[in-house]
Each structure stands twice: as C-alpha cells, then as structure tokens.
Structure 1
Amino acid sequence: MENVNYQNLMFGFLIDDEAQEIFAKIDYQLKDGVHFQNSGNQTRYFGYIKRNMESLKSYYHQFFGVLLSEGGEAPDNYFYLDFYGNDRGNISSKHRNILKSEYVIIGFIIYKIVYIDLDVLLDSVQKLKEKIRIDYDDYKRGIYYLIAKSKNVGPGNVNDAILDSVIQSALQEFKKIGWITLEGDEFSLLPAFDRLIKIYEEYILDIDNTLNELK
C-alpha cells in the first residue's frame, strides 16, 4: 500500500484523463522555458498542471533536478520550471532559454511604460517601437551598444531599423515563453510577465538608474 501511494505521488500526472493527449506537449514546453497561466489556449494546460502539481513537482525534481514552481497569486498565477541555485539540473542545454541582454532591457522599458508611466492602453507593436525610439531616445545609445555587442559589430552599424527589429524579436521571444500575447500588430502582457520582475527585481526597483547606465 505504501508503494502504491508513493507511485501515485510520483506518477499521478500520468493517470490523469488528459495525460495521454497533452502531457508530452506540456513537458516539452516547460523544458523550453514556457510559462503556463490560465489564459487563452494555455487554460487547458494550466488546469492539468494545477491538478497534478505535487506529482509533477516530484517528477521534475527526481528525474531532472529542477523545480516546478508557481509564481504570482490567483487568478494571475502561473507555472514554470526553475533551477536550484546554480545547479542547472539535467535538462539539455538546448532547452535552457537565456534571454539576450537587449531583450531584457526591452522588457524593462515595457515594464516602465506600462507599470510606472501607466500607459496601460498601449497594445500596438508599431506604437511601442515609436515610443521607445522617441520617448526613450536618451537610452538608445546604450541599447545600440548592447545590440552591437550581441551581433559582434560596431555600435555605428546599428540604427533605428535594427532597433525596431530587436524590439520585434524580443516580443516574439516573450510570446514564445508565455509572457505576452502577440498577434500581428497587437500585443498584451500576460501574468507571467511578472517573471521578468522577479528575476531582475533589484534592477527593476532601481529602473531609472538601470536605464540611465545605458546612456
């Protein structure tokens, strides 16, 4: 009986009615850095993880050395895989999603626009690009430097067109990991965008100085 209870704790997620259809998709996406929340086409996956949180948490800990974590507070909570300190676990490096530094800075600026400057109605990609180019002109030199370093070119080779391309790529990456929705010219922040704040909290709390250092 004790062994049966242990198996239920370890593998209960496999006997869930939806396991055969959706577990593999969830597993691959979690390992690719995707965050799941109760929103849009993630709702079903979110429900599965929520129902099986304990057994899934045990599975990822025992077999991959990573932590299935829950961020945020209901109804804006979300699930994602995290590491134990500096231990990167047993997930292949091909699945370890590391945001480029210029994407992180774009995320900081989006955070400032929406949560500090309270431009909560901003939902156009084109308007976001224009706002960063014009209203955040003071920071462009630093952003150009980060882009140039990433592309291994001189800062003089970076211009507004390339900046627009980086903003677009950042948004696509944020969509990929479940931080935003992005359809054509429209985007919106999802609850898991909060993960950016949690990872880089010390920089976010001092966001003006963080961005000023890019000048």
Structure 2
Amino acid sequence: MLVGPPGAGKGTQAGILCERLSIPQISTGDMLRAAQAAGELPGELARQMAEGGLLPDEVVLELIDKRLRADDCRDGFLLDGFPRTTAQATGLDGILGNQGAAIDVVVALEVPANQLIERAVYRRADKKTGKIYHLKSNPPPAGVELEHRSDDHEDVVRQRIENYEAMTAELLPFYEARGVLRRVDGVGDVQTVAERVRAVLPPD
C-alpha cells in the first residue's frame, strides 16, 4: 500500500513497483474519476469529489471489494492512496479477511506542503493517454492536448492536503502499531525515490 498527500508521487511510484512485481495498481482516485466520466456517480458525489472532498466510505469500499476479487489480484496487488481513514482501513481489513489476504507493507511518501502545491498546480494530463506531465520539470511534447484536472487547482489542492493531514493523524499510527508502516522521503527525482521505496520493502 502507498499513502501520501496529493502530489507526493504515489501514482508514479506505484507504476514502477507494479511493473517490477507484476501486480496490478489499484487507485481509487482513477476508479472514481472513471466512474465520474462514465456518469456512474450521482451528481452530488461528483461535485463533492471535484471540490476535493472525501466520498462516503461505502462507495469507495464497494469499488475496492469488487476490484480485489478480480483474477489479476490473486498473486498480490498494490493499493495507491487507499485507505484514507481508519474507518476505511477497518473496512479494508474485513474485505481482505474474507479473501484470506492482508496488507504486508504500508509505504508513506513524505513531501513538504509547499512542494506538493507546486507539483499539482503545474501538473497536466494528456487528454488521450492520461499520461502525466509537469509544465516545469517534465513538459509535454508539442501537439499534446492537455487537461488541468479540477482537483489539481491550488485551492482544491490545499483542501486535499488539509484532509490528508487530518486523516493521517490516526491512519499512520494505525499501521505503525501493526509494524507494517515504512516512512520514505518523497523529495527527489523519480528513480531516487523509487530506490528509497525498494529499500524498505521485503525482498522480491
């Protein structure tokens, strides 16, 4: 499991890990955005998500339960940015217990708030492929049609960071008490952070 504030690089590091370990990356953010784009989220929930708010636990847990039952999760999986609250963590315990599974490592990426805001404000997504670019550090090639996600606007990012900090006041100690939490410095280039993450994981 990867946890960290918005813009900490969870998605990027999850992609690297999943390719190396040949396991699926499960991002509730991606799942919710796909549901929103497909018109599968009620209007009130879609507005709440666009404003950086947290959706009801039952909505997210239902998505996770269904996804973890897929065949590609039988040999393991990586949760990207979920759970976000201790209530969700407890709900996840129930889902995993029913499937005879458990979380073995929780990696917390730590990045100062001022850097998180800059990362998000300059982040853009390719409308066709979904690939993420940064206008300063990783600009897109010419001709790419970009999208600035509504949840990457500065005011929304600040709210999301506040939500995350309130959440981790309980969530990280929840996993630390189980001896599975690993804190990793998320500042640096992608490969440097990837090496730090790999160093805290069990051998392949």
> Which protein shows a greater Rg?
1
Instruction: Identify the structure with the greater helix proportion.
Output: 1
User: TM class, shorter-chain normalised?
Assistant: under 0.3
TM-score by length of 1: 0.24
With the length of structure 2 as denominator, give the TM-score of the two structures: 0.25
Structure showing greater relative contact order (alpha-carbon pairs closer than 8 Å, 6 or more residues apart): 2
